[in-house]
Chains A and B, each alone.
Chain A
């Protein structure tokens, strides 16, 4: 069965630090990959997505992710985090029209 692994369950950073959240998936076919973010008290929002083409995708709020097919990875990055990035981040792979999510990473950015 397809699965998504997010290696870090909790991450604490200071403002201006760089961020990288790991995501690995197990699925051998064509993949559609997503990062969703859930800010405190808000609903899940799409941060960025990869369907095909350039493996480096840019999303909202300065986030980007790189699809590395050989490593089955889709890591999320941001060069300089802000306090407002405090949220929970979910990686997901689309398989047969449904999204399979990782368990999420809670990011706390200290001012």
Chain B
């Protein structure tokens, strides 16, 4: 069974440029998560989707970050414009959506903002 797929794996951009990350969850997983992982820290949730609905986006900096999951399958996370402090690893995870289920993580996208 294929795992969570993310692309690109690495991205280098200059500040003030836009950037987008793509995630394809495990087939059949209704819940999709985007996490941010800064160097030396554990992942922190940015947004959670149940199917196509964003049910928890309280930690998403909405002035520059946006996300979508139009058909309830794959998702895109966008930053516009990027700032130096956005350099981090952006992780996507998915789960079946039951009450006490396990989250499975993708390989992440390492973003460097110059």
Interface residues of A (CB under 8 A from B): 4, 32, 34, 36, 42-46, 49, 51, 90, 92, 94, 96-99, 101-104
Contacts and interface: CB of A to CB of B under 8 A. Distances in A.
19 contacts: A4-B42, A42-B107, A43-B3, A43-B107, A44-B43, A44-B105, A45-B105, A51-B100, A90-B42, A98-B33, A98-B45, A98-B56, A99-B45, A101-B42, A101-B44, A102-B42, A103-B41, A104-B41, A104-B42
B103 interface: yes
Nearest to A52: B100
Contacts of B103: 99
A103 B104 CA distance: 19
Contacts of B43: 44, 90, 99, 101
A32 B103 CA distance: 12
A43 B105 contact: yes
B41, B42, B44, B45: which has the most chain A beta carbons within 10 Å? B42
Question: Main secondary structure on chain A at its contact with chain B?
Answer: strand
Interface residues of B, number: 22
Contacts of A43: 3-4, 91, 105-108
Interface of B: 3-4, 31, 33, 35, 40-45, 48, 56, 91, 100, 102-108
Contact of B104 (A4, A46, A90, A97): A46
Among B4, B31, B91, B103, which residue has the most Cβ atoms of chain A within 10 A? B103
A25 to B, nearest CB: 12
Nearest to A45: B105
A103 B107 contact: no
Contact of A103 (B4, B42, B48, B56): B42
A103 B105 contact: no
A74 to B, nearest CB: 14
What are the 5 A-B residue pairs with the smallest beta carbon separation, nearest first?
A: A101-B42, A44-B105, A43-B107, A98-B45, A43-B105
Contacts of B91: 43-44
Contacts of A96: 56
